[in-house]
Amino acid sequence: MKIAILPGDGIGTEIVAEAVKVLQALDLAFETETALVGGAAFDAFGHPLPEATLQLAKDADAILFGAVGDWKYDTLERPLRPEQAILGLRKSLGLFANFRPAICYPQLVDASSLKRELVSGLDILIIRELTGDIYFGQPRGRRIATDGHFPGTEEAFDTMRYSRPEIERIAHVAFQAARKRDKRVTSVDKANVLETFQLWKDVLTDVGLQYPDVALDHMYVDNAAMQLVKAPKKFDVVVTGNMFGDILSDAAAMLTGSIGMLPSASLNDKGQGLYEPSHGSAPDIAGKGVANPLATILSAAMMLRFSLNQPAAAARIEQAVDRVLTQGLRTPDIHSHGTTRVGTVAMGDAVVKALG
């Protein structure tokens, strides 16, 4: 098993170090290789995704990724910004299916921004299509408008697009995932306004006929955002496009108490995956030793389960995280009265100890 370690920027280096520590404590046979990515790679090589880093990722069985980005890079032209590294990895490796579980641990019910009765027992799986939609659509750019309400002025444009095969592919992933859960899929679209998502809705309906044991309903994205806050436990598997999934998964994160608790997996059709926490690089707290490493540690568990065929080891990590929370240990983002506040390294050490 070969794992590419790409810590990235900001708190990425701190949280990935703790996840690697936990993996090493499992005493499994794997090799790791670390490379620069994002702003750190730009500083060293003039590009956020150097060819050597990309090749390492392609050759690995799985990638453990931290986070990229920093405000100091905001003035760079867009192709050189740190965030282009993660987009490049997704596209180059064909990582089309993004799994973002939103689970509210019983120990963290009171850390949620919603009432206890709304989030107790919450277990949602958001499946986001990751290589299409407006983030990758062409053409895109800026120009001087020749028509419209303001001809002669500068305008910018991005193109939203999906093809039937792209939608079919992610739809099958969602229905197959639902079969292992509560057998319910909610497809989120904006078919009342966007032709792209009328196609999305049509294709999801067609694919759903192949899964008569799974219930399918359709929901407009604005209503889905409202229902996530109003009645989040009504959802089981949510499947949606790249942009809507980006937004809704972060909203769902706060239902669980902190985005610092949410792992994610991005998979291609070969089972190769990139595993990262759902949060960003948080440059405002980088280097302070207060970042929550649990999302990254749980991402490592997903890596063991989905790409490295080590489900027992994955379960050990997940059980260890549960034990640590039961012990009352909390990083600042989930700290509350009556719990023990710890830093990044101490939380990682606690998970290692709880592995048993």
Report the chain's mean pLDDT, rounded to a whole number. 95
pLDDT at 192 over 90: yes
Tokens encoding 344: 């990044």
Instruction: Mark whether 288 is an active-site residue.
Output: no
Range with the poorest average pLDDT among 56-60, 85-89, 251-255: 251-255
Which domains does the chain carry?
1-96+268-356 (3.40.718.10), 97-261 (3.40.718.10)
Instruction: Mark whether 234 is an active-site residue.
Output: no
pTM over 0.85: yes
Instruction: Mark whether 246 is an active-site residue.
Output: yes
Average of per-residue pLDDT across 34-43: 98
> pLDDT, tens digit, for every residue of 114-171?
899 999 999 999 999 999 999 888 888 899 998 878 889 999 999 999 999 999 999 9
> pLDDT, tens digit, for every residue of 46-63?
999 999 999 999 999 999
Among the listed residues 22, 103, 67, 64, the one whose alpha carbon sits nearest the alpha carbon of residue 306:
64
- Catalytic site residue from 59, 206, 217, 222: 222
226 and 247 Cβ atoms separated by less than 8 Å: no
- Catalytic site residue from 110, 158, 182, 250: 250
- Catalytic site residue from 158, 202, 246, 322: 246
- Catalytic site residue from 135, 158, 202, 322: 135
Kindly indicate the confidence band of residue 338, based on its pLDDT and cuts at 50, 70 and 90. Answer: confident
List alpha helices for the chain, DSSP H: 12-25, 39-45, 51-59, 83-93, 116-119, 164-179, 195-208, 221-230, 242-255, 294-306, 311-326, 344-354
109-132 core/surface letters (b: 16 or more CB in 10 A; e: else): bebbebeeebbeebebbbbbbbbb
- Catalytic site residue from 9, 73, 133, 190: 190
